[in-house]
Amino acid sequence: MTFRTRFAPSPTGPLHLGHAYSALIAARAAQAQGGAFLLRIEDIDQSRSRSHWEDQIYDDLTWMGLAWPTPVMRQSDRSEAYQAAVGRLTDMGLTYPCVCRRSDIEAAAGAPQEGVPQFGPDGRIYPGTCRQRTFPESSDHVVRLNMAKALDQVDDLSFNEVGPLFTGTHNLDKAAMLREVGDIILVRRGMAASYHLAVVVDDADQAITQVTRGADLWEATQIHVVLQKLLGVSTPVYHHHDLIRDDAGKRLAKRDDARAIATYRAEGATPMDILKMLGLSR
């Protein structure tokens, strides 16, 4: 099987050092394995995505010396693929329409109880208010996965990890998935799919064999593995890399106030300067 990995930025802001690190690690792994490095534009959230950020992504990555096959997959072109996947999960009896608003979920959650997690990778863990609802519902709903039913359908919940945190086979714990993740959203209001569903469908359609991403997505990966097993697509190997930190040890994630590659460029930095900053010059 040919090695295929990807860099999948969301065009909702400039690329930061953390993005550059992720892209370079993925591209180098592909090079070392004689495989492919793909770029995917994760513009599923059209309310936050902007074409000028997408253009800047191409520009910054090219400046850093990276290349990828074209045409580039863009999530905004792929609603049909996502609908088909949700349809499949619905046919399996694993989805339901949820009409709750954030305030309903807050109200239903009640007082915090000791030892019971309130928040998962997707925000507040859904209390299950709409779990008995069936389609069709009003058009103003999100589609959720019934996690308990979903986990009943899968036996093997393992994936292979090759990152610095841990290398080996990781087995998901069903009880923890129920308690700490719960009924995730598959289709958001005004969107063709949630990030989780879109990523799983895209990685499968692009025949990605290794997902390279930051360690901040470790919890999200667990959701992706469940969806892969339900949809009958193969689970890639995962490489969760370290997050870049600033001199004070503060994490430079995408949403943090990290410095943009474009700013370094404007100040006259070279690609080699960026590699040095990332500890990747060799």
Residue numbers at the binding site for ligand GLU (CB under 6 A): 8-10, 42, 199, 213, 217, 254
Q: In the complex with ligand GLU, which residue's Cβ is closer, 94 or 199? A: 199
Token pair 């520009």: residue: 59
Cα 260 to Cα 94, 133, 273: the distances in Å are: 41, 45, 14
Query: Least distance to ligand GLU from the beta carbon of 175, Å?
Result: 26
Cα 277 to Cα 26, 246, 280: the distances in Å are: 17, 10, 8
Q: In the complex with ligand GLU, which residue's Cβ is closer, 53 or 96? A: 53
Tokens of 94: 């694993």
Dist CA 233 CA 6 (whole Å): 17
Query: Least distance to ligand GLU from the beta carbon of 101, Å?
Result: 25
Dist CA 94 CA 187 (whole Å): 13
Q: In the complex with ligand GLU, which residue's Cβ is closer, 10 or 95? A: 10
Dist CA 170 CA 157 (whole Å): 8
Token pair 């008995």: residue: 132
Q: In the complex with ligand GLU, which residue's Cβ is closer, 16 or 144? A: 16
Answer whether 141's CB lies under 8 Å from 98's CB. yes
Q: In the complex with ligand GLU, which residue's Cβ is closer, 26 or 187? A: 26
